[in-house]
Chains A and B, each alone.
Chain A
Amino acid sequence: MFALEKANNSLRPSVIGSLWRRCAARLGVAEVCSNVATFFMSQYTNFIQFGGESGGCAQVTQLLAAAWAQHSDENPLVVIQLEIVKSYFESMQGTASILHFSDYQGRAHKIACNKGGQHGDAFETVRFAFTTLPSFGRVFARHVACTGAAFCDDVFIVAPLAEGLALTVELKQVLKQDLDLNLDVPRFNCFFPGDQINDDDHARALFQNALQANPQLACLSGMDAGISTMGLPVARVPIGNDEWVQQFVQAKAAAVQVDVGKLDIISDGLIHYQMLRFCQNTRLAFLGRNTLTPLISDIFAEVDATILEALCQKGTTNAHGEWMAVFRRFVDMKLQLPHFWGGFGVTPNAGSAIFAFYATSVSLVQWLGFCSHAEQNFNDLASTWGPGQDLANLDQWSASILLALKQAHQVLLTDFGCHDS
């Protein structure tokens, strides 16, 4: 066992299991992952556990939040974020273990543990999601006005404010009762999507009014919820107004640019190239395929330019500054072309994000149009997960994620020479 220091002075413990356990866990996950994903998606009509797949969680929440205009000003649609305190450590399923830890003086200690799973255990994500699913699903089944998506212990409720808070209270009780789990106070956030309510003070007043109107919600008043009308990160994907989303992506891009600079220390040119290509150039891929492309293309282009500059700098030991502009553009093109076209395969994020966003969003639409299968009794997934959107009629789409999908489709046809099949 070892631990890393977090910014707030707390610890992030992680356990490295024995080689044999890691092997068994990995093979076990490979055996069950497909069936488990189907199980998670098909058990409850208004709650989906995405387990280890964070992208789907963000997309579904984004689509649900687009229905804000259908709700009243007094009881608006909100996205509530909940997280469970020390969820893995406190969860009901136990992995009795003796953890070995070496302290700052090199002394070895044994830490006994008889409860919960461990960060670092390959099977823990599946096991946690699986054992907590019935408790979440049971509560959601009693609150039909609410829908929810979870990425393991990160839970997002999309519901009218009053109904969402009522569900939160019951979930808090049930999690404690069933699983001895507590909701995390610092991660209790409430986001008001859309432009009906764009003043944080107004949103805070609505939130307080909702708490006071129902005495059963009193236990939430002490949790000091974070209120926002700008945006909320959902499973690492920004959902909110354009400005806030761009700020979020800009911060992530800036972190990549800083790290690209750090890699200058690598003296071996080939390793420097490989680390830029495989480690830094791929870092924004997740954001790219889950964030609306028009908002991020310019920011991604800046990261692409930083990576190309770093490669040229290392490759020419800084002589590239004397190149003519046209030659520099040619070099950039060669660096970004795929190997089979004689390039170096440093895929440009600004371009690949369009394809990635298109592919993942099409999968979402395809899933929503997929009415039922053997294990699913849903008559119409789209009415639950894409409220107010007629998926069969593109002209009726109003959710920003669907509009961005239409735009990406058009860009791929006109600018990239793609064809409809």
Chain B
Amino acid sequence: MAQKQARAGNLSKANQTVCSVLKPAFGHDTLHKLQEKTPVGSVVFDKQFWLTTDALDEMHRHDEWLNIQEHSFSIKKIGQYFRNCKPLSAQNADGWRGREHVGWLFTDDDSALQELLRTHLILPNILGDFLADS
């Protein structure tokens, strides 16, 4: 396994595979402990100084923000990220990996698909405008 990871180019993961002494937690009480560590509590904070939804919308329409969005989250930068991320890194729930799978989607000229991925899968993480659960 370590040699496979190393041949793919992920030396740090290969090294971890051989040397790490930390074991994955798979005890009968692991789920309970994890639930305790991830609290579902009150999120009623003092939001007196937080930006309102309207103010956030206004900020997102501002030239400075649009400039950041256009340059720092451009298709070129997204493509660079996926092509340069570590090989054999953690996969998504559906089995897709950044370098092995998604990176290729940003190597051709299918700019319509790339723009869709950017608009509907990546930018919502910045803008917070996910579709609500049905």
A interface residue numbers (CB < 8 A to B): 1-6, 10-13, 16, 18-28, 30-31, 86, 89-90, 92, 94, 96, 99-101, 103-104, 109, 111-116, 259, 262-263, 265-268, 271, 274-275, 278-280
Contacts and interface: CB of A to CB of B under 8 A. Distances in A.
B92 interface: yes
A89 B18 contact: no
Interface residues of B, number: 50
Given A20-B122, A263-B19, A113 B39 contact: yes
A320 B28 CA distance: 50
Contacts of A266: 2-3, 6, 18
Interface in B89-126: 90, 92-93, 96-98, 102, 117, 121-123, 125-126
Given A3-B34, A19-B98, A115 B41 contact: yes
Top 8 A-B pairs ranked by shortest CB distance?
A24-B125, A279-B15, A104-B26, A113-B38, A31-B72, A3-B25, A20-B121, A16-B90
Contacts of A274: 6, 11
A100 B93 contact: yes
B37 interface: yes
Interface of B: 2-3, 6-7, 11-12, 14-15, 18-19, 22-28, 30-31, 33-35, 37-41, 43, 45, 68, 72-73, 77-78, 81-82, 85, 90, 92-93, 96-98, 102, 117, 121-123, 125-126
A138 to B, nearest CB: 13
A23 B122 contact: yes
A111 B38 CA distance: 8
Contacts of A112: 38, 40
A96 B93 CA distance: 18
A86 B41 contact: no
Contact of B37 (A20, A21, A86, A104): A86
Given A94-B43, A115-B40, A268-B3, A20 B81 contact: no
A275 B11 CA distance: 6
Given A113-B40, A279-B12, A104 B27 contact: yes
A276 B34 CA distance: 35
Nearest to A265: B18
Chain B, interface SS category: helix
A22 B90 CA distance: 11
20 contacts: A10-B33, A11-B30, A11-B33, A20-B125, A22-B85, A23-B81, A27-B81, A31-B68, A90-B39, A101-B34, A103-B26, A104-B27, A111-B31, A111-B34, A113-B39, A114-B41, A116-B39, A265-B2, A266-B3, A271-B6
Q: A4, A24, A94 — which one has the most chain B CB atoms within 10 A of its CB?
A: A24
A177 B59 CA distance: 30
B96 to A, nearest CB: 6
Contacts of A20: 117, 121-122, 125
A104 B12 CA distance: 27
B38 A5 contact: no
Nearest to A255: B19
Given A11-B37, A101-B34, 13 more contacts: A11-B30, A27-B77, A27-B78, A27-B81, A101-B31, A111-B35, A112-B38, A112-B40, A115-B40, A115-B43, A262-B18, A265-B18, A279-B12
Given A21-B125, A101-B31, A111-B38, A4 B23 contact: yes
B71 to A, nearest CB: 9
A318 B6 CA distance: 24
